[in-house]
Structure 1
């Protein structure tokens, strides 16, 4: 997850962080790689997880917490990143609609006062405390075969030029597309295991979101 990590809690399953690929994948293989951790021509290593159908038309995401001493200009960078990610995902025509809600979001984003590669403490969120924070972290908790809870933690020390890309990636992965891809053919993919510069969902990245959440029926 490009200096990030994904955890599946409520099960003892440890999540694989990325799939190594030798070259370009078919759309089918790419989707299976990011959605269930399947290597090329291999079996899924994670369950497929999606948000429940009844939540998809109005799935909320927002900044649930931030350090009290976060400078206003830094907070604006995170807020702009969240708004940009929402607009980018909503513009895909997939079968879900995100809405900003900082009061009680389904996808909680926590800006934490932890440096990259530090252990989170005193976040006020039990599922985050004690976890290693490479740069950003997604925690998905399954419930009855679907996503029941999603938490995103991102370091308050994230570099300015990385914030928008990291937030787009983490919010996209919180939709259930949990695995990155490692390989030179995907250096410019949002799901690339290296780099934090992509701020648009195009090509196979966009395809994977639309396939995971087929467009709503008219």
Structure 2
């Protein structure tokens, strides 16, 4: 995807420098795929990001802000995209379970009246204001490898037809799988594709990676 996933390391009170995506032109092994999306490791290489996870298997997620410009068709499309994403993740076989709640959820989703490729303003999260965003993105707050909150933001730059794919990807990244995959091979095979938003369902290796990150007991 074209959107940025950002790791906010609270122990350091700064943004961690992070690789947004890595390129591959061929199929990766399951192990290389998981290491790429979970810690930005190139095939057979070392991690460029810390591995971060939620410490609890049940998480709440909800739309906590929907600016008036989204009301109508965009709001309906967003609500439907969230419902489908929750269903897809809950049925993937990992230990993670998502529950819809718009009351201070673990993963709040904000639809903000602002253009793409601008700086976030008045988000309600001081650590996010003043930071750049493209069309949509997720900011993951962590401490000592544990995710404390993930904030998903959508801007007016994201076309409504991309809501379903973007919603699923941003939620997956908000679970700690933060790195996208560049290259044509995964454009039709993975939700992590950096250059395509054609997928609206988890690919086989996407499901594998989620299961490795949160093994079912």
Q: TM-score range by the shorter chain?
A: over 0.9
- Which of 40, 43, 50 is the equivalent residue of 2:43? 40
Mapping for residues 1-218 of structure 1, pairs under 5 Å: 2-9=1-8, 10=10, 11=12, 12=14, 13-52=16-55, 55-56=56-57, 58-188=58-188, 189-216=190-217
Q: For residues 24 and 153 of structure 1, what CA distance do their matches in structure 2 show?
A: 31
1:120–1:133 CA contact under 8 A, matched in 2 = yes
SS in 2 for 1:184: coil
TM-score normalized with structure 2 length: 0.93
How large is the Cα RMSD of the aligned pairs? Answer: 1.3
SS in 2 for 1:138: strand
Q: For residues 88 and 74 of structure 2, what CA distance do their matches in structure 1 show?
A: 21
Structure 2 unaligned regions, length at least 5: none
2:22–2:179 CA contact under 8 A, matched in 1 = yes
2:65–2:110 CA contact under 8 A, matched in 1 = yes
Q: For residues 192 and 28 of structure 1, what CA distance do their matches in structure 2 show?
A: 17
Q: Deviations over 1:87-114 (max 9, x none)?
A: 0000111111001111111011111111
1:78–1:163 CA contact under 8 A, matched in 2 = yes
SS in 1 for 2:149: strand
Q: For residues 123 and 141 of structure 2, what CA distance do their matches in structure 1 show?
A: 18
TM-score normalized with structure 1 length: 0.93
| Structure 1 segments of 4+ aligned residues over 4 angstroms from their partners | none
Range 20-29 or range 171-180, more displaced: 20-29
Q: Deviations over 1:59-101 (max 9, x none)?
A: 1111011213432221111111111110000011111100111
1:114–1:133 CA contact under 8 A, matched in 2 = no
Q: Deviations over 1:5-41 (max 9, x none)?
A: 1111124421110011231110000000000000011
